[in-house]
Each structure stands twice: as C-alpha cells, then as structure tokens.
Amino acid sequence: MEYHFCVLSDKQVRVDMYLSTLFNDFSRSYIQKIIDKWNVLINWKEINKNIKIKNKDELLIKIIIEKSKIEAEDIELDIVFEDDNMIIINKDAWVNTHPVPWEWWKTWTLVNALLNHTKNLSTIWWVERPWIVHRLDKDTSGLIMIAKNDKMMRYLQDKIQKREVDKYYIAIVNWIIKEKNFKIESYIWRHSTDKIKMTVKNPISPKLAITHWKVIDYIDNKYTLVELKLETWRTHQIRVHLSSIGYPIIWDKVYGDVKINKEVYEKYWLQRQALHSYKLKILLYEKEVEFYWDLKHDLKIIVKNKLNY
C-alpha cells in the first residue's frame, strides 16, 4: 500500500507528528517504525523521524501489511456487542485469550476465532490481527473487549488507564464472609520464586491493586457469592486478593483449597474457578453504556436464582 502526496502546512513540523495526525488510525510509534525501515521518503530522499517537513514537500509512504501467522479457525463466538470499531465477547471458560507457545494451545483460542470472524482487522507493526484490549484467565468466563482498529485500541486503553471503565465480576468463594462491603488495597505482582503466581507478600516490581466487593448471598451455608468491582486491572488481581484474606475462589487451582475443590466437584461437577466477568460500564461514543451478560451454565447450577440483574 502506497500514499503519494504533497504537504500542505503553514508551519514546519516533525514528520512523525505530521503523519500520525494525518493517519490517525496509526499510532505515532507505528509511524516511527515505518520511518525507521526507510518506508517514508521526502522529496524522494530517505529520512529519519526527527526531520521536519514544510509546505509543498513531496511525501511517499509505503506500508507493507502482512497477514497474521496465527491460523483463523471457525469457532462459534458469543457476541454481546459489535460495530465497526469494537467487539465485546462473552468468553467461555477453558478458552485461552491468546495462543501460547505450547503446541496444544496454539489453536482454539479467542484470537483464532476472532481472526476468522473479523473482516476489518487492526494493523500494527505491519501485521493484521485483532486487538485484545484486556485479557481473562483461561478458566475465567465473561465479557472481554476487542478493538478492531488502532484508534479504538488507544481510546479503550486510555479509558482503562484513567480508571474510567468499570468492570464487575461474580465469584463464589470459600467460607462465609460476614462483612457485606469491603475494599482490598495492596501491592501485588510476580512471586519471587514461583513464575505462575502473583503475590501480595514481597512481590517483584509491586503494583498497586484495589478491589471492591459486595456480598450477594450464601450457598450451602459454606460458600459466599460476591460481586467484585476492579478499580485497578492487575494480573490475577481478584484471585490473589481474595486468597490473601482467607477467602479463595472455589476451584482456583493456583490460589485455592484442594480439599474444597474436590467437594465442589463431587456435588456440582464444577471443574474451573468460579469467576465470571458479568458487567462493563464505559463511556462509548459520548454516551455511558452498560453491558451485562449472564453466568455460564456450570456456575448457574451452583448459584441458582440468587442473582437479580
């Protein structure tokens, strides 16, 4: 793909700033990569990103777009919302968001399904691919946002960074929580010796994490059904926070209780962590919108009619 045109500008500006404004679907860092690969010529000369352009300069831009190396697969998607800029999916449990290096998990992921479904893909670093704005753990079900272009990706990332996206979860945890409303605030990140785990105890490169919860009801006089709202979005945040105060999510294989997991399996046949992202609130196209989606079938069996939304 090539763009060939003359500059119309009443002042001199850096070429990367000019082009990122002109092509606002591409980020400035993406434009800089194009320049670094000598794919931008001014007056038929190779340039660097610090060069300033002036009125009537002649620009030639070459953009080489590659197809994603990830295979598209015809996998059914539970689509909650879709337009030209984004999709919201109700992800099933046991589905990875991204392919991972191990051979048996390179396929049947959300990205494989989106590559098959989405005809208008985002282009970043010369590769077409769907932009996953945030991720859910493999065993967590629920709402996940996907941007279809770089402009929407930057918009959603900015909203998340500024804590302007409200994300709510439903979870079932071990034991009875008597305090109806609570806030957990701590620093979490990588465990010093276990690469799989996050921790609140002396984490490597700690990051602030804040989780709000509200008790909804109790199950079997042994488990608590809770609604959780994320103020920050850290890896494993809900799972680590609940485990750190003694109420791990049932069937959490990393932070949970093996004995209780076995009891829940024998009674309800549940084999994955009882965590579901059920609601998103966001300012979209200058209007505040909410997206709700019901629990998956395996969690409904346990929760029954205890939710009213």
Distance CA 41, CA 106 (A): 39
Please give the residue that has the higher pLDDT: either 192 or 164: 164
Pairwise CA distance, residues 93 & 136, whole Å = 9
Res 37 pLDDT > 90: no
* SS3 assignment for 170-217: EEEEECCCCCCEEEEEEEEEECCCCCCCEECCCCEEEEEEEEEEEEEE
The pLDDT tens digits for 93-147 are 998 887 765 545 568 888 888 888 886 555 554 445 567 888 899 999 999 999 8
Q: What is the residue whose two structure tokens read 């794919």? A: 39
Q: Helices 28-36 and 15-22 meet at what angle, rounded to 10?
A: 130
The pLDDT of residue 197: 87
Hey, what CATH topology would domain 2-62 get? Answer: 3.10.290
pLDDT tens-digit map of 3-21: 788 888 788 888 888 887 7
Average model confidence (pLDDT) for the chain? 86
* CA-closest candidate to residue 115, choices 76, 72, 146: 72
Separation CA 225–CA 125 (nearest Å): 43
Q: Please, are residues 73 and 116 in contact by the beta-carbon 8 Å criterion?
A: yes
**66-162 in CATH: which number?**
3.30.2350.10
pLDDT in tens, 222-270: 999 999 999 998 989 999 999 999 999 999 999 999 999 999 999 999 9
Domains 2-62 and 66-162 share a fold: no
The answer to whether the CB of 118 falls within 8 A of the CB of 79 is no
CA-based R_g, the chain, Å: 23
Give me the pLDDT at residue 205, please.
Answer: 80
Three-class SS state of 7:
coil
| Cross-strand bridge partners of residue 131 | 147
Domain ranges of the chain: 2-62, 66-162, 165-309
Q: What percent of the chain has pLDDT over 90?
A: 48
Q: How far apart are CA 70 and CA 115, in angstroms?
A: 8
Judged against a pLDDT cut of 80, whether residue 200 lies above it is answered with yes
Closest CA to 69 of 97, 98, 89, 96: 98
Summarised one tens digit per residue, pLDDT across range 270-299 is 999 999 999 999 999 989 999 998 899 999
Whether 85 shows a pLDDT value over 60: the answer reads yes
* β-pair partners for 280: 167, 291
CATH architecture of 165-309: 2-Layer Sandwich (3.30)
Q: Could you list the active site residues?
A: 137
Q: Which of 107, 104, 100, 132 is nearest to 118 (CA)?
A: 132
